């Protein structure tokens, strides 16, 4: 009876908005991980449910929103895993927990393991929303402020602009601009990021990325070069190769962060690492995956194996 009443209420609420669509999807995983020798092998599981809604105006503009149930945002000026967008011939404008322009254009190289094993393949971007920036000298009042991302694509060329909310306490704001050229098998991108805060703290970074697919092999490479006005300079490199054949895929990566600030070795900062892993598609949204990662900076290893699901 409760299910019937709930269904009736939903049906009544949606009468007259046939142009709108609401979808529910999700992901889950379970398995065993030994994470860089911290406490030995551990069980590890997670589930996330995603809600998305979309519609279209009489003039043909599309609009929509998304939210993730496990870490949904608070709305207004604070967001975490929620976005709102509008798109049309002018491009696409998104607010919420969005990536910065350089990240949106370039992305990351491929990682390994069903958990990602701390994602040591990834480089650090300065202009991502929903982060605390992670740089010394900046104490944020609200590290999950709404950011804005604009995207425009014409043929093979895509342009990106982004900005984070100005933090009330520190005045910190990150801005980014990027461009991407892509065909069916190749892509190259270039991005610039600037993070500026009060008290004369300023960082900037250039990011160059590329990818290519040859038959069943996909290669990805990212290079980032940054500096700040405190005299620090850093470089980040990451390269991955993934070979896919039917249901099986094998991935390897090498990553190297040189003098990246901050110096927290538990994150991707100042990490020299490599990894290898494989996954097998079981069909129906399920796959089994495993990986091994070596953190050469701390001389520690991590390994995991488990099942992941999408629905």
Q: What domain count does the chain have?
A: 1
**9 Cα distance to chain centroid:** 36
pLDDT tens profile 22-61: 999 999 999 999 988 768 899 999 999 999 999 999 999 9
Alpha carbons 50 and 68: distance in angstroms, whole number: 4
Alpha carbons 296 and 161: distance in angstroms, whole number: 35
Query: Does some domain include residue 13?
Result: no
Q: What is the pLDDT of residue 144?
A: 55
Closest by Cα among 139, 128, 140, 144 to 76: 144
State the pTM of this model.
0.86
Q: What is the pLDDT of residue 239?
A: 98
Supply the CATH number for residue 235's domain.
Answer: 2.40.160.10
Query: Does some domain include residue 10?
Result: no
Query: Does some domain include residue 168?
Result: yes
| Ranges under pLDDT 70 in the chain | 1-19, 38, 70-80, 129-145, 198-199, 261-270
Query: Does some domain include residue 16?
Result: no
Q: What is the pLDDT of residue 9?
A: 42
Query: Does some domain include residue 200?
Result: yes
**Domain extent at residue 185:** 22-310
Q: What is the pLDDT of residue 129?
A: 64
- The 3-state DSSP class for residue 103 equals helix
Query: Does some domain include residue 1?
Result: no
Task: Name the one residue in this structure whose structure tokens are 């500096």.
Answer: 227
Q: What is the pLDDT of residue 266?
A: 42
Query: What residues does 294 pair with on adjacent strands?
Result: 274, 301
The answer to whether the beta carbons of residues 113 and 275 sit under 8 Å apart is yes
Q: What is the pLDDT of residue 8?
A: 39
Query: Does some domain include residue 3?
Result: no
């Amino acid at each position: 009876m409760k299910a019937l009443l709930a269904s009736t209420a939903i049906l009544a609420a949606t009468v007259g908005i046939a142009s709108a669509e609401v979808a529910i999807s999700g992901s889950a995983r379970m398995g065993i991980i030994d994470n860089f020798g911290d406490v030995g092998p551990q069980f590890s599981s997670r589930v996330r449910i995603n809600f998305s809604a979309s519609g279209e105006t009489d003039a043909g503009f599309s609009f929509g929103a998304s939210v993730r149930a496990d870490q949904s945002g608070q709305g207004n000026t604070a967001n975490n895993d929620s976005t709102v967008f509008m798109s049309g011939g002018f491009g696409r404008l998104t607010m919420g927990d969005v990536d910065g322009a350089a990240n949106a254009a370039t992305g990351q190289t491929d990682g390994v393991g069903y958990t990602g094993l701390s994602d040591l393949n990834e480089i650090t971007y300065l202009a991502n929303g929903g982060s605390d920036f992670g740089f010394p000298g900046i104490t944020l009042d609200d590290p999950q402020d709404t950011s804005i991302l604009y995207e425009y694509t014409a043929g093979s060329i895509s342009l990106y602009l982004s900005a984070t909310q100005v933090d009330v306490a520190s005045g910190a704001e990150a801005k980014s601009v990027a461009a991407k050229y892509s065909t069916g098998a190749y892509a190259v991108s270039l991005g610039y990021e600037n993070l500026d805060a009060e008290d004369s703290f300023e960082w900037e970074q250039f990011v160059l990325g590329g990818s290519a697919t040859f038959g069943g092999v996909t290669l990805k490479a990212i290079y980032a070069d940054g500096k700040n006005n405190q005299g620090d300079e850093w470089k980040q490199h990451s390269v991955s190769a993934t070979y896919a054949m039917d249901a099986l895929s094998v991935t390897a990566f090498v990553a190297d962060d040189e003098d990246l600030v901050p110096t927290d070795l538990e994150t991707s900062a100042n990490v020299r690492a490599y990894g290898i892993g494989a996954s097998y598609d079981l069909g129906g949204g399920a796959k089994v995956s495993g990986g091994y990662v070596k953190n050469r900076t701390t001389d520690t290893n991590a390994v995991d194996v488990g099942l992941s699901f999408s629905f």
